[in-house]
Amino acid sequence: MKRPSTIKQVAERANVSIATISRALQNPSVVAPETRDRVMAAVAELNYVPNVQARSLRTSRSRVILALVPDITNPFFGEIIRGIERGAFETGYSVLLGDTQHDEAREASYASMIASGQVDGLLTMMPHVPELYYRQRFPIVTVCEYVADSSISRVRTDNPAGIALAVRHLAELGHRQIAYIGGRPDQPISDEREQGFRSTMRQLGLPVSPALMAVGNFTAESGARAAKELLDGGAPFTAICCASDETAVGAMQTLRNHGLKVPNDVSIVGFDDIPLSQYLDPPLTTVRQPTDRLGFEAVSILLEQLRNPKFEPRMLVLPTEMMVRGSTAPPRN
């Protein structure tokens, strides 16, 4: 690999000092037009690109942010990442990706990149913040997930309202016996969604039977398993409300295997609106989260925090939207 040229070489070539090169690139207006042209010419000839390490060392900012995901394989996170990447790119930042796989050791290891100066801030989709935060107080924004700490900015969807949309939709169709398959119990959003489910049911005067509350972990596999538990439990239900689309997909498979038709025998509602859900059979009725925007807004806030030393943490709650498709119908009386 050819060794890149340095500011010194450019300076020699353009017959000016290195300070002028730096200025011509950072703050062109302060150098005389003709000098600037000469510098630019030299830069072009030598294919000069400033060394980022040197710059970062001097300015102590890396212009890199770290994004931590529990599972990059999940298309839902994929979309958020895209939003993050888009926002970062537009403002000249880049995104270091960490797939923690729900593992705290990995998370901690990534967090140390902040201490080492490799990244300027952290965007986490995990349900907690790294230990290190309490010692170093670095810039951080939680996305989707959140922790109960008002010093931390968060961007998230209105989960209770989202689930309420789903439950109301089912209730309007005439369902009364609605089962629920939750998310990973260790994630606060699972709680939020479950609480949203319970309280909406209550508001509508519908019964919340413990026998109809199943536990999942947001994966299709867990949805399939939970649905089986519901069926085996014997308590009757005409609809299932799921904490994620993938869970819904899994549940639908179990229902099929038991000879039950969706939506005729059982209606299903998902959550997230992953790209594939409209192509399922039947197309999945679901609650859409503004995924791309979630990521985008999160970077915006993080970048603002990086720029503004008097930044006040804030919370942004984005609305959900009901996507009514084919997996829901009135109950077979």
Does position 118 interact with DNA (CB under 7 A)? The reply is no
* Rounded-to-integer distance, Cα 31 and Cα 20, Å: 7
Does position 306 interact with DNA (CB under 7 A)? The reply is no
Phi/psi region, residue 65 (left: phi>0; alpha: psi -120 to 50; beta: rest), is: beta
Task: In angstroms, give the least distance from the CB of 252 to a copy of itself.
Answer: 7
Helix (H, G, I), strand (E, B) or coil at 183: coil
Task: In angstroms, give the least distance from the CB of 304 to DNA.
Answer: 19
Task: In angstroms, give the least distance from the CB of 115 to DNA.
Answer: 10
Question: What backbone torsions phi and psi does residue 67 show, to the nearest 5 degrees?
Answer: -110, 125
* Contact pattern for DNA over residues 166 through 195, marking x by CB under 7 A: ------------------------------
Contact in structure between 8 and 15 (CB atoms under 8 Å)? no
- Positions touching a copy of itself (CB under 8 A) are 1-2, 4, 47, 49-54, 56-57, 60, 62, 64, 67, 72-75, 78-79, 81-82, 85-86, 89, 94-99, 106, 109-110, 112-113, 115-118, 135-139, 220, 224, 246, 249-250, 252-253, 256, 275-276, 279-281, 283
Task: In angstroms, give the least distance from the CB of 55 to DNA.
Answer: 4
* Rounded-to-integer distance, Cα 281 and Cα 151, Å: 44
Output the six-digit token pair for 265: 């025998």
74 binds, among a copy of itself, DNA, none (CB under 5 to 8 A by kind): a copy of itself
Helix (H, G, I), strand (E, B) or coil at 110: helix
* Contact pattern for DNA over residues 59 through 88, marking x by CB under 7 A: xx----------------------------
Comparison of 39 and 88: residue with beta carbon closer to a copy of itself: 88
Output the six-digit token pair for 106: 């990995």
Does position 16 interact with DNA (CB under 7 A)? The reply is yes
* CA-CA-CA-CA torsion sign (200, 204, 205, 207): negative
Output the six-digit token pair for 177: 């016996």
Number of helices followed by number of strands (H, E) in the chain = 12, 12
Output the six-digit token pair for 139: 């810039």
Does position 316 interact with DNA (CB under 7 A)? The reply is no
Contact in structure between 184 and 218 (CB atoms under 8 Å)? yes
Residue matched to tokens 């998370």: 107
> Terminus-to-terminus CA distance in the chain, angstroms?
72
Q: Which of 12, 46, 55, 330 binds DNA (CB under 7 A)?
A: 55
Any bridge partners for residue 180, and if so which?
213, 241
Task: In angstroms, give the least distance from the CB of 51 to DNA.
Answer: 3
Find the part of the chain contacting DNA (CB under 7 A) among 14-22, 99-107, 146-154, 157-165: 14-22
Site for DNA in 196-215 (CB under 7 A): none
Q: Which of 28, 41, 44, 54 binds DNA (CB under 7 A)?
A: 54
* Rounded-to-integer distance, Cα 199 and Cα 204, Å: 9
324 binds, among DNA, a copy of itself, none (CB under 5 to 8 A by kind): none
Binding site residues, DNA, CB under 7 A: 3, 6-8, 15-23, 25-26, 30-32, 34-35, 48, 50-51, 54-55, 57-60
